[in-house]
Amino acid sequence: MDIVDAQVHAFFKLQENEMLAAMDALGIRAVIIDELWGHLENWVAWPHATQANGVRRALSPLAQVAALKHPDRFAFVQRVNRADPELAALFAILGTTPGCRAVRVDLRSREERQAFASGGFDELLGLARERDLTVGLHIHGRDTAEVLRGTLGRFADVRFVLDHCGYPKAPEQWDSVLSLGACPNLWLKWCHAHHFFEAGPYPFPGLQKQLLRAVDSYGAERVLWASDITHDHGNVSWADLLYYVRESPSLSAGDREWLLSRAARAAYQWPTAVGAGATAA
């Protein structure tokens, strides 16, 4: 079975060879890397390079190497900042960098959420459209649906991925995230669900219940599984996070195939390598 983990912070805890060994042991074919060695103040990611205007441009040097060496096993998402002084040049580079499948924007501050809703990200989103790069949305807050809906509609030809179940902290926030399933260009990343919902003991019946709600709202074709295991503090294993979905009796075989690989490959435009042990997507 083709399995894609849609978010792992490789090189935070696991190095390339350790990642490959763990992936092989678990039957995970491929991983989307968000390279992160740690955080500085105000969620500033390391590694980065400071630009002339003070913006810290996130870098993914080891992810680029991994994607070049193992193009069927690793791809990566690059964090970007709308205030980068050379945004167009940066996107031109990312759009031709092997293995770069997406960019990721940070909307956790109120200022950035307001900017996203009011057109402040339009240049960045236009560049993503021009370079055919998916846009990951890292957002917190009670106003997620209100912030995203209008811009998703204006950029209907851009693929978006909503990270970490949309960070719902209350039932009404989860209902709001589920309502965004009506946006056909938005995928939901099923990640860190055990931090947001009552899970129960393995195989986490509480998570399975909420996963079915996500599938009902978005369709299995737009829900993609991710472990984020290298940055998880929930006392769960990589195997636990995979197998409760892979072995779920509540999901059809077709739904599991979408959740565990096909949705991610569609969202990130990453076809399966022919001869890689799975049917080409």
pTM of the model: 0.95
Over residues 95-104, mean pLDDT: 98
Residue 38 in domain: yes
Write the pLDDT tens digit of every residue in 60-94: 999 999 999 999 999 999 999 999 999 999 999 99
Pick the more confident residue, 231 or 189. 189
Q: How confident is the model at residue 281 (pLDDT cuts 50, 70, 90)?
A: very low
Give the residue from 237, 164, 160 showing the smallest Cα distance to 195.
164
Is 272 among the domain residues? no
Higher pLDDT, 236 or 281: 236
Q: What is the pLDDT of residue 237?
A: 95
Query: 198: exposed, middle or buried (C-beta count within 10 Å: 0-12, 13-18, 19+)?
Result: exposed
Q: What angle do CA 245, 27, 18 make, to 5 degrees?
A: 115
What pLDDT, on the 0 to 100 scale, is given for residue 280? 34
Average the pLDDT over each of 86-90, 139-143, 196-200, 251-255 and give the range with the smallest value: 139-143
Pairing, β 160-162 against β 38-39 = unpaired
> Above 60 in pLDDT, residue 172?
yes
How far is C-alpha 233 from the chain's CA centre?
18
What is the pLDDT at residue 45?
80
The H-or-E segment that residue 194 falls in is: helix 193-196
- Residue 229 in any domain: the answer is yes
On the question of pLDDT at 279 being above 60, the answer is no
Count the neighbouring beta carbons within 10 Å of the beta carbon of residue 184.
Answer: 10
Owning domain of residue 153:
4-267
Is residue 171, in this structure, part of any structural domain at all? Answer: yes
Does 174 fall in a domain? yes
pLDDT attached to residue 277: 45
* pLDDT score of 274 more than 60: no
* Residue 279: inside a domain: no
Q: Cα–chain-centroid distance for residue 47?
A: 19
Q: Are 224 and 267 in contact (CB under 8 A)?
A: yes
Looking at per-residue pLDDT, the higher value among 170 and 280 belongs to 170
Overall domain count for the chain: 1
pLDDT confidence of residue 275: 53
Q: What DSSP character marks residue 268?
A: T
What is the per-residue pLDDT across 194-243, written as a single tens digit (0 to 9) for each? Answer: 999 999 999 999 999 999 999 999 999 999 999 999 888 778 999 999 99
Establish if 277 belongs to a structural domain. Answer: no
pLDDT band at 140 (very low <50, low <70, confident <90, very high): confident
Q: 40-69: per-residue pLDDT in tens?
A: 777 778 899 999 999 999 999 999 999 999
Write down the pLDDT at residue 160: 98
DSSP H stretches of helix in 48-102:
61-69, 87-95
**How many Cα atoms sit within 13 Å of 41 on the Cβ side?**
0
Report the pLDDT averaged over residues 134-158. 96
Looking at residue 93, which CATH number applies to its domain? 3.20.20.140
pLDDT in tens, 1-51: 999 999 999 898 889 999 999 999 999 999 999 999 887 777 778 899 999
Residue 121's pLDDT is: 98
- Residue 278 inside a domain? The answer is no
